[in-house]
């Protein structure tokens, strides 16, 4: 698979200490609903299991250690690699006071691991259990409306193998509002091409694998605009890569790019 090394998503991912959890006074009158989803880009593992025990957001009216609202406190073990080609997981769905919010926090529990060639390997999360993964992202909750946010977890970039064979999670997560984004879907044939489909959204590379049975793919959480969709075969000695240009993405909609049949060499 060909890779393009582009800029890391412009989202601060930090580990921090001593942050309190509470339900502060409403910054504005009225409440709105927040729904948070998680998807993943492909990675060269059999599976990546991450134990998310809590999801929080922070109000802009508070200081650095307070003003946190709990979005979801029910622990769940997610296989990140199952969240692709249009499949997503709901990280949280709750009512929040209307107002401006600036940060998101994921608390990870124990038991995280990766699966490689059928074998399980522990996945170390530095400070993740106690202090959480902090994502700097500003958004507004309007009274009597629903705000939807997608967290695109890039497992391939997020997992680092050390010299002694251990695996460490250093999260790379792209955040995109559902209101301002859409998707591109289609199919790539023949199935034996095992195609990788990718495009560039701002400074980020968004990737999908063609399904091994149907050839179907879906590029998720793309800001509205026009895109060049690149299709790369895993076997470049047999199949020719191809490109689809000027694919328009409309907010809240899916663009069907149709079925592409790669030519043979």
pLDDT in tens, 108-163: 999 999 999 999 999 998 865 567 889 999 999 999 999 999 999 999 899 999 98
| Residue 257 belongs to a domain | yes
Which among 167, 262, 221, 181 has a CA at the least distance from the CA of 39? 221
Q: Counting beta carbons within 10 angstroms of the beta carbon of residue 18, is it exposed (0 to 12), middle (13 to 18) or buried (19 or more)?
A: exposed
Claim to verify: residue 32 and residue 159 sit in the same structural domain: yes
Residues 188 and 70 occupy one common structural domain:
no
Checking if the pLDDT of 28 tops 60, the result is no
228 pLDDT above the threshold of 80: yes
What pLDDT score was predicted for residue 61? Answer: 76
Token pair recorded at residue 138: 């500003």
Which of 113, 148, 178 is the endpoint of a domain?
178
Given strand 31-41, what is the order of strands in its sheet? 89-97, 31-41, 146-154, 173-177
Range of the domain at 173: 13-178
Residue 85 has pLDDT above 80, yes or no: yes
Does one domain contain both 257 and 128? no
Around 261, how many Cα atoms within 13 Å sit in the side-chain half-sphere? 3
**Rounded mean pLDDT of the chain?**
87
Residues 165, 217 share a domain: no
How many Å apart are CA 34 and CA 256, to the nearest integer? Answer: 28
Q: Please check the confidence at residue 6 and state whether its pLDDT lies above 70.
A: no
pLDDT band at 3 (very low <50, low <70, confident <90, very high): very low
Shared domain for 29 and 149, answered yes or no, is yes
- For residues 197 and 81, membership in a common domain is answered with no
Residue 6 in domain: no
Decide if 54 is inside a domain. yes
From residue 147, give the alpha-carbon distance in Å to each of 48, 95, 192.
28, 10, 40
At residue 105, the pLDDT reads 93
pLDDT in tens, 172-211: 999 999 889 999 999 999 999 999 999 999 889 999 999 9
Quote the CA–CA distance of 97 and 4 in Å, as a whole number: 41
Q: How many CB atoms lie within 10 A of CB 82?
A: 13
52: pLDDT strictly greater than 80: yes
Residue 132 confidence (pLDDT): 86
Residue 255 backbone dihedrals phi, psi, to 5 degrees: -100, 120
Residue 65 lies in a domain: yes
- The reply to whether 200 falls in a domain is yes
Residue 24 has pLDDT above 80, yes or no: no
pLDDT value, residue 36: 96
pLDDT of residue 9: 37
Surface-to-core class of residue 194, CB atoms within 10 Å of its CB (0-12 exposed, 13-18 middle, 19+ buried): middle
In a domain, 82, yes or no: yes
The pLDDT of residue 249 is: 97
Q: Which two tokens stand for residue 133?
A: 């993964």
Considering the domain architecture, whether residues 192 and 256 belong to the same structural domain is answered as yes
| Residue 157 DSSP code | H
Report yes or no on 8 lying in a domain.
no
**pTM greater than 0.85:** no
Q: Within this chain, do residues 30 and 154 fall inside the same structural domain, yes or no? A: yes
Count: domains in the chain = 2
Tell me what pLDDT residue 128 has: 55
């Amino acid at each position: 698979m060909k890779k393009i090394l582009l800029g890391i998503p412009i989202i601060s991912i930090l580990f921090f200490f001593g942050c309190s959890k509470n339900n502060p006074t409403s910054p504005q009158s009225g409440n709105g609903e927040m729904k948070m989803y998680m998807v993943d880009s492909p990675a060269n593992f059999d599976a990546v299991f991450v134990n998310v025990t809590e999801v929080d957001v922070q109000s802009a009216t508070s200081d650095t250690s307070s003003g946190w609202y709990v979005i979801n406190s029910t622990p769940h073990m997610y296989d990140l690699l199952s969240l692709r080609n249009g499949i997503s997981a709901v990280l949280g769905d709750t009512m929040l006071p209307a107002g401006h919010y600036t940060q998101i926090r994921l608390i990870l529990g124990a038991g995280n691991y990766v699966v490689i060639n059928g074998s399980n390997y522990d996945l170390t999360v530095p400070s993740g259990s106690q202090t959480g993964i902090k994502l700097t992202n500003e958004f507004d909750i309007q009274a009597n409306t629903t705000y939807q946010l997608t967290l695109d977890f890039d497992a391939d970039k997020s997992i680092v193998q050390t010299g002694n064979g251990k695996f460490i999670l250093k999260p790379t997560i792209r955040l995109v509002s559902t209101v301002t984004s859409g998707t591109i879907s289609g199919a790539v044939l023949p199935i034996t091409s095992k195609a990788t489909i990718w495009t560039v959204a701002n400074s980020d590379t968004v990737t999908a694998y063609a399904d091994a049975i149907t050839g179907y793919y879906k590029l998720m959480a793309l800001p509205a605009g026009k895109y060049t969709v690149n299709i790369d075969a895993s076997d470049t000695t047999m199949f020719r890569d191809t490109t689809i240009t000027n694919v328009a993405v409309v907010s809240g909609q899916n663009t069907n790019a149709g079925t592409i049949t790669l030519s043979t060499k």
